[in-house]
Chain A
Amino acid sequence: MSNKTVIPFGPQHPVLPEPLQLKLVMQDERIVEAIPAIGYVHRGLEKLTETKEFTQNVFVIERICGICSFKHALAYCQGMESLMGIEVPDRARFLRVIWGELHRMHSHLLWLGLLADAFGFESLFMQVWRDREKVMDIMEETAGSRVIISTNQIGGTRRDIAPEMLAKIDSVVNEVKEDVERVEKVFCNDYTVKHRMVGIGVLSKENAKLWGAVGPMARGSGIAEDVRTLGYAAYNELDLEPVVETDGDCYARMKVRLREVYQSVDLIRQAIAKIPDGPIHVPEKGNPNGEVISRVEQPRGEALYYMRANGSKTLDRLRVRTPTFANIPALLKMLPGHQLADVPILILTIDPCISCTER
């Protein structure tokens, strides 16, 4: 037995687009322990929201994370609406589903690309990101911006989608579905891809529960938990079944996300078929007072918002618990026993979003 060595993984690492640092205690090629060191992306956004007016906060909260900005704003707006007793118009609720699911699609496609990059399959990475651009084009056409689309506001949405555009979205997401079916063959059947992922980083159902995993991570381990089934926005009027895989390894988590892309396509098409006419926004009156908890399902899992207002224009406290924060303990338990070469894939399969986690 050789001595233990500590290898710093990150903060700057080619695999990670974001600075997460793990100090890996190694014995030969095996990991004995993983020690996280975070704080590289900490800005102090929760404190910042206390200095801004509650209507302005939407823009701050969207910048907690660019990838799932719409979902963050949605959680905040829904919390504020329930606090102030605002009934959101039906059309706005459906628009929120459409944009929300488009965000999920782009996030999962982005992740699939990064995963392919992590196991060194660069042409697959390029292929997936090319398909993703179709989703980005829809966002740009409907909201004027590609990433932070900023269409949520308290009381509804800031923009409407025209019927012709809805028809176009319907056909484009169908195209994306066909594209993803093409890459799915490689992701699910390719010998090398399977070799890197099957049986790696197994998280059993009990452990997933014990360590509080959320989102695709929990669903990959057989826990059928999806906050969307609570029926916020217009999800209660849509047909929705959580995507579940039971193996709990990297391969299962990848399959969950792949199938969720199809699920999003399905939800968008359902929403487009059912969307009613009408107003998209009701103005808010007065100031919020009291405290509220709001939950949404982000691409990475459940995000929990706690807000306390005091009847003035600014909030007393805003607390965000993001999905990556909940998934990091499970990651740290999964890492020991694996080889150094598996670390990038293991880190990626929790779909880390460090800027959410550290805010």
Chain B
Amino acid sequence: MGLVKKSRIKSPWVLHYDCTSCNGCDIETLACLTPLYDVERFGIINVGNPKHADILVVTGSVNKRNERVLRNLYNQMPEPKAVVAVGACACTGGIFKDCYNVLGGVDKVLPVDVYVPGCCAKPEAIIDGIMLAASKLEEKAEALKEAKAHA
């Protein structure tokens, strides 16, 4: 395993964006970083710059205004990258599904790799989701390599 690949799996950096979440899942995502749950033991760090991030954690459903922001953030992240949808509204739209300004879950805009259900999703579930996404990064890196070899 090369150094880059190893660090990507052993230390995935996370970018968190709140679409239209009620804050419940956001504070639970933040709670993951703090001493009780302490995701840093998996090498996970919350970063503010999409160019440093491997995993995009999205909370809340997508609306007409933040769709562009979300796409922008995703496009700025370097390959390989994974998307984790946290909470019921990020997965399907949840209770906001019928609102006039809501387009639906995150998968309406981005390819989602891991769905973490719950309202609000529990920190344990969020950590599970992020770790699952980290293992998917490895597969994605392999696929990228093959695609490059064939190109």
Q: Do A and B bind each other?
A: yes
Query: Chain A residues with Cβ under 8 A from B92's Cβ?
Result: none
Does the CB pair B69–A66 fall under 8 Å?
no
Residue of A nearest to B96 (CB): A43
> Are B18 and A18 neighbours in the complex by a CB distance under 8 Å?
yes
Separation in Å of the B26 CB from the closest CB of chain A? 5
Determine whether the beta carbon of A17 is less than 8 Å from that of B27.
yes
Within the complex, the shortest CB–CB distance from B37 to chain A, in Å, comes to 9
B69 contacts which chain A residues (CB < 8 A)? 11-12, 19, 40
| Residues in A117-158 with C-beta less than 8 Å from chain B | 125-126, 129-130, 133, 136, 145-148
- Please give me the residue from chain A that is nearest to B101 by CB atom: A44
Q: A129-B35, A133-B31, A148-B119 are in contact. Are A14 and B48 (CB under 8 A)?
A: yes
> Which chain A residues numbered 12 to 41 have a C-beta less than 8 Å away from chain B?
12-14, 17-19, 39-41
Distance in angstroms between the alpha carbons of A126 and B21 in the assembled complex: 23
Question: Please, how many residues of chain A have a CB less than 8 angstroms from a CB on the other chain?
Answer: 39
Docked Cα-Cα span, A59 to B119, in Å, equals 11
**A353 contacts chain B at the CB level, 8 A cutoff:** yes
Q: Which residues of B contact A234 (CB under 8 A)?
A: none
Contact of B4 with A by CB under 8 A? no
| Complex interface: stretch among B59-67, B129-137, B143-151 | B59-67
Cα A122 to Cα B47 in complex, Å, equals: 14
B22 and A126 contact, CB distance less than 8 A: no
Assuming the contacts A63-B95, A63-B96, asked whether A17 and B20 have C-beta atoms less than 8 A apart, the reply is no
Check if B28 sits within 8 Å of A147, measured CB to CB: yes
B3 at the interface (CB under 8 A from A): no
Asked if A110 CB lies within 8 Å of chain B CBs, one says yes
CA distance A145 to B120 in the complex (A): 8
Given A11-B69, A12-B17, A45-B96: A66 and B25 within 8 A (CB)?
Answer: yes
| Closest residue on chain A to residue B61 by CB atoms | A43
Report how far A44 CA is from B60 CA in the complex, Å: 14
Contact of A17 among B26, B34, B95 (CB under 8 A): B26
Q: Which of B27, B66, B99 is most buried by chain A, counting CB atoms within 10 A of its CB?
A: B27
Which residues of B lie under 8 Å from residue A145 when comparing CB positions?
120
Which secondary structure dominates where chain A touches chain B?
loop
- In the bound complex, residues from chain A placing their C-beta under 8 Å from that of B63 are 40-43
A249 vs B95: C-alpha distance when bound (angstroms) = 39
Contacts A63-B95, A146-B122 hold; do A42 and B31 have CB atoms under 8 A apart? no
Query: Which residues from chain A contact B66 at a C-beta distance below 8 Å?
Result: 11, 19, 40-41
Known: A43-B99, A44-B99, A44-B100. A69 touches B48 (CB 8 A): no
Q: Is B36 an interface residue (CB 8 A)?
A: yes
**Bound state CA distance, A47 and B63, in angstroms?**
15
A66 with B23: CB separation less than 8 A: yes
Closest to A38 in B: B65
Q: Mark A56-88, 1 if CB is under 8 A from B, else 0.
A: 000110011111010000000000000000000
Q: Is B102 an interface residue (CB 8 A)?
A: yes
Interface membership of chain B positions 77-108, coded 1 if the CB is closer than 8 angstroms to chain A and 0 otherwise: 00000000000000000011011111000000
Which of B20, B36, B73 contacts A12 (CB under 8 A)?
A: B73
Decide yes or no whether B30 CB sits under 8 A from chain A.
Answer: yes
- Asked if B111 is at the interface of the complex by the 8 Å CB criterion, the answer is no
Residues of B within 8 A of A136 (CB): 31
The reply to whether B18 and A41 form a contact with Cβ atoms under 8 Å apart is yes
Residues of B within 8 A of A110 (CB): 27
The residues of B that contact A273 with a CB separation of less than 8 Å are none
Q: Which 8 A-B pairs rank lowest in CB-CB distance, beginning with the nearest?
A: A66-B24, A14-B48, A129-B34, A66-B23, A44-B99, A66-B22, A147-B24, A130-B35
7 contacts between A and B (CB under 8 A): A41-B18, A43-B99, A45-B99, A63-B119, A65-B22, A66-B120, A147-B27
Tell me the A residues contacting B by CB distance below 8 Å.
11-14, 17-19, 39-45, 47-48, 51, 59-60, 63-67, 69, 110, 113, 125-126, 129-130, 133, 136, 145-148, 353, 355
Q: Which residues of B contact A (CB under 8 A)?
A: 16-28, 30-31, 34-36, 47-48, 50, 60-61, 63, 65-66, 69, 73, 95-96, 98-102, 119-120, 122
